[in-house]
Structure 1
Amino acid sequence: MEERQTKPINYLDHAATSWPKPPEVMQAMQTAMVEAAANPGRGSHKMAVKASRVMFESRRTLSRLLRVHNPNDVVFTHNTTEALNLAIKGILRKGDYVVATMVEHNSVRRPLEYLKRTLGIHVDYVPVDHQGNLDWNKLKDALSRKPKLVVCSHSSNLLGSILPIAEMGELAHKHGAVFLVDAAQSAGCIDIDVHAMNVDLLAFPGHKGLLGPQGTGGLYISPSIDLEPLLHGGTGSQSEEVEQPSVRPDRYEAGTPNTIGIAGLRAGVEKVMEMSTLHIYQHEWDLTQQMIEGIRRINGLQILGPHQGAPRTGIVSFMSDRIDSSEIAFRLDREYGIAVRAGMHCTPLAHQTADTLQTGAVRASVGVSTTVEEADAFIDAVSQICGKA
């Protein structure tokens, strides 16, 4: 894929935030700042109406991408973390039982552990192997205990592994559970159909694979589910009532939204649909295979996640038996101008699974703008730092 602009660095941290953004995203945000910077839904003047149109069209665009029937079932949040908190805290009650997995991000684990401490909910984390494959026997055993909620990360932000959410959702529904999916690493690079995949709640970021700006994200909420709102306040609707409105999406969007950012998000989603998630996935997979092959030739490095040739998102994590992960990342940045991430990646459960809880790992993650030449430069730099075979 073509580079979007001249890059001052070799950016391989797309799993955190995609960069650079398409020019269309920046243009949409600038236009919204000039023409639609009023409060949507709070006034009838022209600029407020334009702001409302930005929100509606963005919701509709996301609905096309995710195959959502009613755009009002897509609620905007500031990020995936807020969306997950809304889903988890909005549905669970005292004593409920939850099933999650051993690749969950802290955005899932910490809310669950908080509710475990404060409401006495019960949580089981289903094991996965070193490649990120789920232990189906353990999952079925956990489901037999009738959980209220099943939650999983669609793709691990450490391993790059992809869980079969359609099959998991089908099993969850057979046991009467609500199915929540964390699409932080999959939205924009894996085709998602919330209905075909049996998803009741889908949390997604705007700033990663959807190519939008930071401060954007959302939650799909099945029409059969009524969550307790995370925030209470002004919505511009049913203002005479003391309770939060019952109508969607107002019920879950208290306060002034990030209209400018959401305008940029819409442009990013349109770019994703123009390229197609299938094309994006193939591009990123090809690059990961190139990087895995190069890292395999370097002595003392261990690659985490699925074996070469297996499905994965655009993430390649590794560790050295001689050099600290943080040092490798530091040297890649300072000596070679390559941006990666090292450490725990906010997912200690996945590190526990990979036996890297004490060491952490270096994570290189590619995106739609990453080139073959950048992947080669990364391999050469790691080889010089860690030593050739």
Structure 2
Amino acid sequence: MLYFDHAASSFPKPAQVGEAMKQAVDEFAANPGRGGHALSQKAGSIVKQARIEIAQFFEAPHANHVWFYQNATMALNQAILGFPFSSGDHIITTAYEHNSVLRPLHRLQQEMNVQVTYLTPDDSELFQVEDVLEQITDQTKMIVISHASNVTGAIFPLKELGQQLKDRSITVVVDASQTAGKVDIQMERDHIDLLAVAGHKGLLGPQGTGALISYSDYDLKPLILGGTGAYSELETQPPNWPERYESGTLNTPGIAGLLAGIQAIKERGIQTIQSHEEALMQMFLEGVSTIEAVTCFGPTDLQKRVAVVSFHVKHLASHELAMILDNHYQIAVRAGLHCSPKTHHHLQTADEGLVRVSFGPYNTVEEVQQLIDAISDIVEAFIE
């Protein structure tokens, strides 16, 4: 199987990810922070080590500012729904957000009368900082931005936005699901307040892992209350971090795997990974550009996008093309709306969606050529 669905979940994982998870299950599958015995302490030390590694990786102020969740969706829900909004407050976001952002925002609109502005990209499929600044009002409390679109790959200029906002009291929430582990992200440099990351994508960890990283205290209300392993005498959720935002038993095997994935990224080098994936994306775009029936979407400046390409084949339904690639060529891609409906409405592709290919650090030139050849064969057989 040739795998080109890294925007959904990375595969294969580095060998050390599975090894770390197996070790956690086989050797110290106790409850971290829930006992004084050796196995609990060992599990707790792995969680602490992962917290430290992630804080350093994204330049968070302290390891306790890293809160583990099952995925980026839960992290984004905590950041958005947990924020102390009042009726009439204003949020700026983009029309290219994932449902993990769109649906919490919709709830705020319906239940709290929070106003939301959805920005659209320019003709080059890029978002401009000036467009964000023009929408800011005295009621603007938050800007929620996907660092890169999971449909077009377009990267938002976070650093430039942050420089413009550093003297304003506006909280910047960043969905880094498509960029964490693939693009250099530094919270202080980029002026990011709340950073949501998925462990199972570019960070090369397993499913069931993610984190919300908080640069400072934004008075978030915990969405989930319960056992924290400490402060058990309190009737309310403890004020201390990270316990305040982590109720219940953590996914120790998953966190161990996530730690190993991040270490693998550091060994290879994030710039090396980014350059490799960009080269594969360029090869694919150049390869399909000679196929007249194929239309690709996204910025033409490859340095302003991640290695995600969505495309349409004339007179061939996206799901049908994906099925043919899967069944006849053993090539895994993603078809549909990619949980980003407003993106497809803007692109006028909402009726049947698009086929998306996304590249990872272990894909090869030979694999990309097989993908191009397969699309060419299908077009020749079904279209021409």
Give the TM-score, by structure 1 length: 0.95
Matched, 1:74 2:53: no
Counterpart selection for 1:302 from 268, 285, 295: 295
Structure 1 CA distance for aligned equivalents of residues 162 and 139 of structure 2: 14
Change in Cα spacing, 1:213 to 1:259, as seen in structure 2 (3 Å) is same
Deviations 1:163-200 (A, max 9, x none): 00112223334432000000000000001100000000
Summarize the Cα distance change of 1:170–1:143 in structure 2 as closer, same or farther, 3 Å threshold. farther
Matches within 5 A, 1:151-230: 151-230=144-223
> 2:21 is matched with which residue?
29
Q: Secondary structure at the match of 1:132?
A: coil
The answer (yes or no) to whether the contact 1:60–1:71 under 8 Å persists in 2 is yes
Structure-to-structure mapping, 1:1-389, within 5 angstroms: 9-95=1-87, 96-129=89-122, 131-307=124-300, 309-387=302-380
SS at match of 2:188: coil
Q: Distance in 1 between matches of 2:214 and 2:303?
A: 31
**% identical aligned pairs:** 42
- Contact preservation (8 Å) 2:154, 2:299: yes
State how far apart, in whole Å, the 1-side matches of 2:335 and 2:252 are.
Answer: 33
- 362-371 or 299-308, which moves further after superposition? 299-308
- 1:368 deviates by 0.6
Contact 1:130 1:354 in 2 (8 A): no
In the TM superposition, residue 309 of structure 1 has moved relative to its aligned partner by 4.1
Say which SS state the counterpart of residue 69 (structure 1) adopts.
coil
What CA distance in whole angstroms lies between the structure 2 residues aligned with 1:150 and 1:284? 29
User: Structure 1: any 5+ residue segments left out of the alignment?
Assistant: 1-8
Structure 1, 316-325 or 353-362: larger mean CA deviation: 353-362
In 2, the alpha carbon distance for the partners of 1:258 and 1:132 equals 38
Q: Distance in 1 between matches of 2:302 and 2:29?
A: 47
CA-to-partner distance for each residue in 1:248-270, whole Å, 9 max, x for gaps? 10000000110110000000000
Q: Distance in 1 between matches of 2:117 and 2:108?
A: 13
Partner Cα separation in structure 1 for residue 137 and residue 121 of structure 2:
19
Greater mean deviation of Cα atoms: 57-66 or 79-88: 57-66
Moved more, 18-27 or 353-362: 353-362
Instruction: Please report how far the alpha carbon of residue 135 of structure 1 lies from its aligned counterpart in structure 2 after TM superposition.
Output: 4.2
| 316-325 or 202-211, which deviates more | 316-325
- Checking the alignment, whether the CA contact within 8 Å between 2:72 and 2:197 is kept in structure 1 is yes
Aligned partners of 1:80 and 1:184 also within 8 Å: yes
Q: Deviations over 1:190-236 (max 9, x none)?
A: 01100000000000000000000000000101223231101000001
- CA distance in 1 between counterparts of 2:53 and 2:376 reads 43
Distance 1:379 1:135 in 2: 32
Q: What SS class does the counterpart of residue 10 from structure 2 fall into?
A: coil
Cα drift, residue 145 of structure 1: 4.1
Counterparts of 2:63 and 2:2 in 1: how far apart (Å)?
A: 37
Q: C-alpha separation between the residues in 2 aligned to 1:373 and 1:251?
A: 48
Identify if the C-alpha distance between structure 1 residues 308 and 148 changes in structure 2 by more than 3 Å, giving closer, same or farther: closer
Normalization by structure 2: what TM-score? 0.96
Equivalence for 1:4:
none
Most deviating of 77-86 and 63-72: 63-72
Q: Distance in 2 between matches of 1:173 and 1:196?
A: 10
Cα RMSD (Å) of the superposition?
Answer: 1.4
Could you tell me how far apart the structure 2 residues matched to 1:131 and 1:256 are? 46
Shift in Å at residue 348 of structure 1?
Answer: 1.0
**CA offsets, 1:62-119, max 9 Å, x none?**
1121112301101000000000000001114232211101211110000000111111
Work out whether residues 319 and 325 of structure 1, in 8 Å CA contact, stay in contact via their aligned partners in 2.
yes
Q: Greater CA deviation, 329-338 or 143-152?
A: 143-152
How far apart are the structure 1 equivalents of 2:215 and 2:176?
16
SS in 1 for 2:177: coil
User: Is the Cα–Cα contact under 8 Å of residues 84 and 220 in structure 2 kept in the other structure?
Assistant: no
After TM superposition, the runs of 4+ consecutive aligned structure 1 residues lying more than 6 A away are none
Verify the 8 A CA contact 1:159 1:305 in the aligned structure 2.
yes
Contact map agreement 2:129 2:161 (CA 8 A) in 1: no
Equivalent residue, structure 2, for 1:3: none
User: Structure 2: which 5+ runs fail to align?
Assistant: none
Tell me the SS of whatever aligns to 2:100: helix
- C-alpha distance in 2 between matches for 1:125 and 1:145: 17
Asked whether the 8 Å contact 1:131–1:161 carries over to 2, the reply is no
Identify the range of structure 1 (299-308 vs 327-336) with the bigger mean alpha-carbon deviation: 299-308
**Equivalent residue letter for 2:169:** G
Shift of 1:121: 0.8
Secondary structure at the counterpart of residue 294 of structure 1? helix
SS at structure 1 position matched to 2:187: coil
Amino acid at match of 1:352: H
- For 1:38, the aligned partner's letter is A
Aligned residues between the structures: 381
